Amino acid sequence: MSSGLLEDASFNQSPSFGDVDLFSADRPLADAAARAGLDLAALSTCGKDYGAAATLDLGRVANENPPKLHTMDGKGNRLDLVEFHPAYHGLMAKSIGYGIHASAHDGSDKAGPMSARAVRLYLATQAESGHMCPITMTHACIGALRAEPALLAKWLPKIGGRTYDPRPLPWWEKDGVTLGMGMTERQGGTDVRANITMAATTGDHVEITGHKWFMSAPMCDAFLVLAQSRRGSADGGLTCYLMPRYRPDGSKNQIRFQRLKDKLGNKSNASSEVEFHGAYAERVGSEGAGVRTIIEMVNLTRLDCAIASAGQSRIALSQALNHIRHRSVFQRRLADQPSMRATVADLALELEAQVALVFRLCRASERAASDPAEAAYVRLLTPAVKFLVCKSTPQLVYEALECLGGNGYTEDLPMARYFRESPLNAIWEGSGNVMALDVLRAAGRHPDQAMATVGALAKTASAAFDVRQLADTLADVLRSGDAERRARFVCEGLAKIAALAALVEARSDFAPLYGDTRLSGGRLAQFGTADLGSAETKLMDRALSA
């Protein structure tokens, strides 16, 4: 053996993944966009941008250089400033330039505004997930601000632009702004009604005193927060407020960051603990209606979690496919080894269902205002889709990581970062049990519509695989007094029927295969145990064009 061969670092190693059109190489995504009537050429341009090697490397650099909190300057003056690496700012500028923070609301996408934005979100999160937090929150906050039209009208020109402006200035002096949110407190978490932060009315605004246990993206220009309203001795109840970083006189608002969370993943994004010391804020929505005001925002962020998790699954699977098509073991490419093909094709089948399902939910969200059946679909399925897609992603990402063997476990390659990121969306905006209970609440508040939705899904899905028995069981559990104990069963079963129905509506060749491998009684737990037969090659090539 020549010494030159030993010195060749590329010997039997797969090439780096990059300079790929992430849109056109992803047939499930491109097909979903075509069904929605979207501008495929523009989305291909976006896919090339986020799939460029230089853009993917920004994701690496942003996570290797996490944000730093500076609470004070050298003289002891309050700064409350979070410093980000230029790579993070570059990603923010790119995603705001594509309008992912606001395009669903401003009419810029004539066909399928939620769907078009979802495609760009799905692409952007493959380059880097952490910076999508302020992008998603800005998008979702617009939904909540509709409850206060005058306030939205004042802020929307700065929100809706395509310029990223990270300068620490009063919002009216900036070229563009982002919005964040702070809802949970240490004593309550998901139970926001346990909040003890107080909002005292002072003339035309309130001054808020209290804390938030999680307030992500602390360098946003304003935050939606929940606080208990007080007018003198009167208690007005939990209310939503918009809290800017600067008061109307241009002075800094009394928002004091205590520390940044040290998280498992999501390293590029800052998540803070914060105290308010009489911070200026303006009411959003009716007094005492804080939870009702943020419902629209919550639904939007939950949908984003599902879209982004599907994107994370896709970039991990793409890395695995890129590797196995170039790596040889036992005198054959990994992609030609039967066990590897079975595993990766099974991952690709899961991704087919994820993409069909999240874009079916996007379409329902677009039609909900004018179609009661679609509105019922959104109410019941938003938490269920988040549950299924976000909880499937860590396993899918792990299996993709394992396809690279030991290489996948090193920090030199991106798979370890993807894996650390993968549980996040299942936890944020309501963890698994919260999603399952929200399905029960939606069904309990609108029982007739919920049963009609389950029936319609079962009818559609059964064109590919008979799910009527499972649907009947789900309906029986929903009507029983034991539903809360079996909440996860209801949530996952409902989401899988909806995924199958979405594949049927998309006229997917793989709908029967998904039903047989995911909804039959003999299905085993691990990816690669299903018999996909002759569908393996087509599934792999659709996930990442060969």
Containing 499, the helix (H) or strand (E) segment is: helix 487-505
Token code pair at residue 361: 């939910």
Listed residue (461, 113, 32, 350) closest to 453, CA to CA: 461
Containing 179, the helix (H) or strand (E) segment is: strand 179-182
Residue 221 CA to residue 298 CA, distance in Å, equals 20
| 467: three-class secondary structure by DSSP | coil
Residue 232: per-residue pLDDT: 73
Burial of 402 (0-12, 13-18, 19+ CB in 10 A): middle
Residue 374: per-residue pLDDT: 98
Rounded to two decimals, what is the model's pTM?
Answer: 0.96
Residue 402 CA to residue 273 CA, distance in Å, equals 35
Residue 2, CA distances (Å) to 8, 11, 12, 331 in order = 10, 12, 15, 20
Residue 9 pLDDT exceeds 70: no
| 450: three-class secondary structure by DSSP | helix
Residue 10 CA to residue 217 CA, distance in Å, equals 40
Average pLDDT, the chain: 95
Residue 546: per-residue pLDDT: 79
Residue 438 CA to residue 262 CA, distance in Å, equals 29
Query: Which amino acid, 206?
Result: V
Longest dimension (CA), the chain: 87
Q: Which sign, positive or negative, has the C-alpha torsion 506, 508, 511, 514?
A: negative
Residue 427 CA to residue 111 CA, distance in Å, equals 32
Listed residue (222, 217, 219, 61) closest to 131, CA to CA: 217
Q: How confident is the model at residue 188 (pLDDT cuts 50, 70, 90)?
A: confident
CA 37 and chain centroid, separation: 23
CB neighbours of residue 319 within 10 Å:
25
Residue 42 CA to residue 56 CA, distance in Å, equals 19
Residue 105 CA to residue 5 CA, distance in Å, equals 57
Orientation angle between helical segments 372-403 and 487-505, nearest 10 degrees: 90
Q: What is the DSSP string of 114-160?
A: HHHHHHHHHHHHHH-STTHHHHHHHHHHHHHHTTSHHHHHHHHHHHS
Q: How confident is the model at residue 3 (pLDDT cuts 50, 70, 90)?
A: low
Token code pair at residue 130: 């952490």
| 8 A C-beta contact, residue 417 and residue 379 | no
Containing 200, the helix (H) or strand (E) segment is: strand 198-202
Q: Mean pLDDT lowest for which of 238-247, 250-259, 328-337?
A: 328-337
| 217: three-class secondary structure by DSSP | coil
Q: How confident is the model at residue 8 (pLDDT cuts 50, 70, 90)?
A: low
Residues 6+ apart with CB under 8 A from 175: 158, 161, 163, 165
Residue-wise pLDDT tens digits, 492-546: 999 999 999 999 999 999 999 999 999 997 777 889 999 999 999 999 999 999 7
Q: What is the DSSP string of 332-376?
A: EEGGGSHHHHHHHHHHHHHHHHHHHHHHHHHHHHHHTTT-HHHHH
Task: State the virtual CA torsion across 436, 437, 439, 445 in degrees, nearest 10.
Answer: 170
Q: How confident is the model at residue 320 (pLDDT cuts 50, 70, 90)?
A: very high
Q: How confident is the model at residue 33 (pLDDT cuts 50, 70, 90)?
A: very high
Residue 354 pLDDT exceeds 90: yes
Domains annotated on the chain, with CATH:
27-139 (no CATH), 171-290 (2.40.110.20), 292-543 (1.20.140.10)
Residue 7 pLDDT exceeds 90: no
Average the pLDDT over 243-259 and give the result. 98
Token code pair at residue 135: 């992008």
Orientation angle between helical segments 113-127 and 338-367, nearest 10 degrees: 140
Residue-wise pLDDT tens digits, 417-474: 999 999 999 999 999 999 999 999 999 999 999 999 999 999 999 999 999 999 999 9
Token code pair at residue 250: 């241009």
Residue 336 CA to residue 327 CA, distance in Å, equals 10
Token code pair at residue 270: 């800052």
